[in-house]
């Protein structure tokens, strides 16, 4: 059964060429929004909290601060509405999932930049 699912995902799910990023990186995701007959491009810039899943079902979570409120959004990696992803900053973290980042405020919420 697993091989059948893997075969269908490899054959029929279209893959996009996206840059490599991981937890701690600051990225900008440009995605398309449909409002009635019109479509427009919106972006979401924030820190990658986690990447989870494999293959076609892979997702990533981005967290940004909107004023004093933290906003998180989960994007499927194969979402057709995603136009492009830009990696703004590479972060140096020691975890694959940085949920502790939610509780940090002020200067403690900064992530060191990695030299990659």
Quickly state the pLDDT bin for 17 (edges 50, 70, 90): confident
**Residue 20 vs residues 2, 51, 83, 87: alpha-carbon distances, Å:** 26, 11, 15, 8
pLDDT value, residue 108: 92
pLDDT value, residue 47: 95
Domain 16-104 = CATH 2.30.30.790: yes
pLDDT value, residue 116: 66
pLDDT value, residue 41: 96
Q: Is the pLDDT of residue 75 over 90?
A: yes
| CA gap 66, 81 in Å, rounded | 23
């Amino acid at each position: 059964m697993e091989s059948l699912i893997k075969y269908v995902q490899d054959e029929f799910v279209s893959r996009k060429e996206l840059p490599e990023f991981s937890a701690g990186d600051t990225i900008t995701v440009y995605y398309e929004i449909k409002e009635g007959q019109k479509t427009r491009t919106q972006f979401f810039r924030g820190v990658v909290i986690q990447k989870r899943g494999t293959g076609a079902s892979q997702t990533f979570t981005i967290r940004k601060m909107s004023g004093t409120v933290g906003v998180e959004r989960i994007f499927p990696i194969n979402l057709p509405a995603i136009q492009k992803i830009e990696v703004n900053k590479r972060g140096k973290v020691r975890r694959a999932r940085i949920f502790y980042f939610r509780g940090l405020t002020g200067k403690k919420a900064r992530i060191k930049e990695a030299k990659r």
